[in-house]
Structure 1
Amino acid sequence: MELTRPSELKALLERHGLQLSRRFGQHFLVDRNHLEKIVAAAALTHDDTVLEIGPGAGVLTRELAARAGAVVSIELDRNLPPVLAEVMAEFSNWRLIEADALKYDWSTLGATKVVANIPYNITSPLLVRMLEQRPPFASITLLVQKEVADRAKAAPDSDAYGSLSVFMQFYAAVHVPALVPRGAFFPPPKVDSAILHLVPHAQPPVDVPSPEAFFAVSRAAFGQRRKVLLGALSHGMDRPRDQILAALEATGVDPQRRAETLHLEEIAALARALASPTAS
């Protein structure tokens, strides 16, 4: 079965009387070259249990099951289990959970890695859950919109840098092994995609009082990114301007800078300064 041939994939869906659902953001990868790049980035071994979210018709699922020790797929679309049962019939190391991946308790699965062509309409909440998972996954390899990958890897002072960049880089080392053109999918989406490979940090990469304190500063700074830091932090954190000014001066951060210039270490330094008893 070669599901990277659009004709074969289409015939499979037609046998089951299925049409693709816009509601679930279904776009199946049908380019073997890019399929193999995803699997290569994940570096699977027989010791891995893989969590896949949104298996669709099983194009990627078959490749995962051929390489990993076990694969657990979570699918919300109730029309797809019969398709997956046919496609995955030869793999005894695969199982399907029919559920909403955003609500399911992943910690019960024993998964070591995540590899998925995720529904693009739930990218943000999935990323948050994946990166906040404890204990962390060994790696997370996803197909995402190119814009998301650009923002995830962006450096300070670049157009793409923002709160998502800070969040992703706080929780993981970010790599983008390859871009995937829209023509590699069936049906083609309206945007190009990218392979996003994340290796979660065992510990935060910067010294913070807590992740909550770090992200309180980040949210306030980027919440009003047109404002300079003194105004954005005062308003966003509901703290007196003199406290914010003192923290900025103590950390050597110019109050007239804007959020998109801040490095993770500077956000962490501000979080430490504002968490100090002398800052209250």
Structure 2
Amino acid sequence: MKFSNYKIVPKTEIGQHFLTNNKVLELVVKQIPLKSKVLEIGAGPGQLTEKLAESVKCVEAVEIDRQFLPLLEAIKKKQSQVNIIIGDALDLDFKKYADFWIAGNLPYHITEPLLAKIINLPIKGAVFLVGQSFGQEATALINKAEHFGKLSLLVFTFFEAKVLARVKKEDFDPKPRTDSLLIVLVPRKESEYKNRLLFLLRWLILGARKSALIKNSLREGLIKYQKITKNEARDLIADLKLPNGLLEKPFEQLNNHEYLLLYKALVGE
């Protein structure tokens, strides 16, 4: 779809770059089991919405920009399993979609906040088109890449992740500055958190929501996991040889180098 043929003006300032490659759209749909329920983030003109509706049980299509409403309503008339939600996806109560797949071509500025909302929720999985830099950071631990940061830890801790494809910028209208990556995220099973590293990372990340300092979150996590005393936990933390400045910060305030130091210390590198 070329938007110059329609009375539609994509708003690049809010990340509107719409996928036009039919093969990639089909690859997204292929990742989601038949008869699933799907929450689509950023439905736009509905190319993915329409294809999803052909194979899944229902599509909750979220779009913030009302200029696409006529196109989405036309799809809904043909495919009644489509429900349109006009509004900001970040305002949704994601707990209502715990048994859904989540899919979408994500604007860069909502990618990290969206991920933060779905971690630790029992969604079925997610298929996202994301900016190249985000995708590289998100999958850094899986692909042993250099682009390590907070997102690397979030994704590694809560999801099995893989990169399905690199999507060229020419496959979007309007064309973004960089290529994109198509990634699949599947939540880890609860049994995987018997692993000390995953247990402690989850404890640190969820503790960050209360702005707890790393040293306090880590101490409490070690006490819970290893059934030890506070003093024993403090000794274990000292053995990690982490910089005091890192230990005195909340998780969300670390820089990328500090996230890497924390990960390596917990792994034992």
- Confirm or deny: 8 A CA contact 1:51 1:111 kept in the other structure: no
Is 1:211 the counterpart of 2:205 in the alignment?
A: no
Match of 1:189 in 2: 176
Q: Which amino acid aligns with 1:172?
A: F
How far residue 56 of structure 1 moved from its aligned partner, in angstroms, is 0.2
Q: Which amino acid aligns with 1:213?
A: L
Q: Pairwise mapping of residues 1-280 of structure 1 onto structure 2 (< 5 A)? A: 3=1, 6=2, 10-11=4-5, 14=6, 17-40=7-30, 42-46=31-35, 48-109=36-97, 111-133=99-121, 136-155=122-141, 158-203=145-190, 205=193, 206-207=195-196, 208=199, 211-213=202-204, 246-248=235-237, 250=239, 253-255=240-242, 259-260=259-260, 262-263=262-263, 266=266
Tell me the TM-score normalized by structure 2: 0.75
List per-residue Cα deviations over 1:231-259 (Å, max 9, x = no partner).
Answer: x967x99xxxx999833454xx4558965
Report the CA distance shift for 1:19/1:214 in structure 2 as closer, same or farther (over 3 A).
closer
Match of 1:276 in 2: none
Alpha-carbon distance in structure 1 between the residues aligned to 2:139 and 2:73: 37
Report the CA distance shift for 1:262/1:255 in structure 2 as closer, same or farther (over 3 A).
closer
Superposition RMSD on alpha carbons, in Å? 3.5
- Confirm or deny: 8 A CA contact 1:29 1:184 kept in the other structure: yes
Aligned length: 237
Q: Which amino acid aligns with 2:202?
A: P
Alpha-carbon distance in structure 2 between the residues aligned to 1:261 and 1:158: 15
Q: Which amino acid aligns with 2:12?
A: R
Structure 1's unaligned 5+ residue stretches are 221-231, 270-280
- Confirm or deny: 8 A CA contact 1:49 1:110 kept in the other structure: no
Give the number of the structure whose residues are more often helix, by fraction. Answer: 2
How far residue 84 of structure 1 moved from its aligned partner, in angstroms, is 1.1
Tell me the TM-score normalized by structure 1: 0.72
In terms of mean alpha carbon deviation, does 176-185 or 116-125 score higher? 116-125
Q: Which amino acid aligns with 2:93?
A: D
Alpha-carbon distance in structure 2 between the residues aligned to 1:111 and 1:51: 10
Structure 2's unaligned 5+ residue stretches are 219-230, 244-256
Alpha-carbon distance in structure 2 between the residues aligned to 1:110 and 1:209: 24
Alpha-carbon distance in structure 1 between the residues aligned to 2:23 and 2:200: 44
Alpha-carbon distance in structure 1 between the residues aligned to 2:176 and 2:182: 15
Give the secondary-structure state (helix, strand or coil) at the position aligned to 1:161. coil
Alpha-carbon distance in structure 2 between the residues aligned to 1:102 and 1:211: 22
Match of 1:229 in 2: none
